[in-house]
Structure 1
Amino acid sequence: MNRTAVYTVFIAAVLSLGLLIGTNNIPGEWYQSLAKPTFNPPNWVFAPVWSILYVVIGVVGARMFLAFRHTAAMRLWLAQMILNFLWSPLFFGMQDISSALIVIIALLIAVAAFVIASWQRDRISALLFLPYFAWVAFATVLNSSILLMN
């Protein structure tokens, strides 16, 4: 498989799965009824932010697959994807704020561990994950706040 095909497959897979999970776990009346902190962004912000992040995550996944397939960084990339895709069904689908918080804390740790693990081998991938880390950190604070307020 050539490089372009690997990038295309990774970006398409991550973006498609993310959008599929998002469309099947839409914030509904339950979420609207929750008390939220003042820094909670409007709902329309989440889809474009996650779409951009999923493209970046796909690019990083392709880079890891092509050059560092059998490394801890690749395993951490896969682990963060699993955790990422678990969060929405827990939070919105099952309305389980506590379990979602546990998952997002694990996600934050996995993303940080990926950055650390990839820093020496592929600094570009590590740097590309920093906005993702910042967004997951913000989402962790938001999840925590919603749990405490409800």
Structure 2
Amino acid sequence: MKFYIRLILFLIINFGALGIGTILMNNGPTEAWYLNLDKAPWTPPGWVFGFAWTIVMICFSIYMAKLLEAKNTSTILILFGIQFILNVSWNYVFFNQHMVSFGMINLILLFMLIAYMTITYKAELKTYTIFILPYLLWLIVANTLNGYILFNN
């Protein structure tokens, strides 16, 4: 039963992060600044971002609930907290402040953190490691999109 309580808590926190990020980006995706950028040809339609982040956060919540079940340490919560800050702050840095290079740094750090967690806790989680892979894959896509904007605008 404790797993389900942790899962619900992580779902609330992770979807809360998405909500906070949305507030912090203001109207970024609909502003002239973003609309006029030279974006990557593989940039998906807007609805894909919401769908992808929903899947990512559901899977990441399962991953975190299982990880704390397998290895309950303060280090894991610290890593999760750093992930939360990086995830939420990208919206503000990129969309609100138009700081594309800092957004890129933010995404690289977030990718490195999620990759670190994936590798470090693979032994404890075994097959449950699969639940962090959507996050890792989506961050690869996000890095390419941000990188394209950085180098072509």
TM-score (norm 1): 0.89
- CA-atom RMSD, angstroms? 1.9
Residue in structure 2 matching 1:34, options 33, 37, 41: 37
Residue in structure 1 matching 2:145, options 132, 142, 149: 142
Instruction: Say yes or no: does 1:55 pair with 2:27.
Output: no
Partners of 1:21 and 1:89 within 8 A in 2? yes
- For residues 64-123 of structure 1, give each alpha carbon's deviation from its aligned partner in whole angstroms, at most 9, with x where no partner exists: 223312165554333222211211111111111010000100111111101101111112
If each structure's helix is expressed as a fraction of its own residues, which one has the higher value?
2
Rounded Cα–Cα distance in structure 1 between residues aligned with 2:106 and 2:24: 18
Quote the residue 2:47 is aligned against. Answer: 44
Instruction: Say yes or no: does 1:10 pair with 2:10.
Output: yes
Instruction: Say yes or no: does 1:96 pair with 2:99.
Output: yes
Q: Percent identity?
A: 27
Higher relative contact order (CA 8 A, sep 6+): 2
| Structure 2 runs not aligned, ≥5 long | none
Q: Secondary structure at the match of 1:36?
A: coil
1:59-74 map, 5 Å? 59-70=62-73, 72-74=75-77
Q: Secondary structure at the match of 1:121?
A: helix
Partners of 1:18 and 1:85 within 8 A in 2? yes
Instruction: Say yes or no: does 1:122 pair with 2:125.
Output: yes
| Structure 1 runs not aligned, ≥5 long | none
Partners of 1:10 and 1:58 within 8 A in 2? yes
Q: Secondary structure at the match of 1:129?
A: helix
**Paired AA for residue 19 in structure 1:** G
Partners of 1:72 and 1:117 within 8 A in 2? no
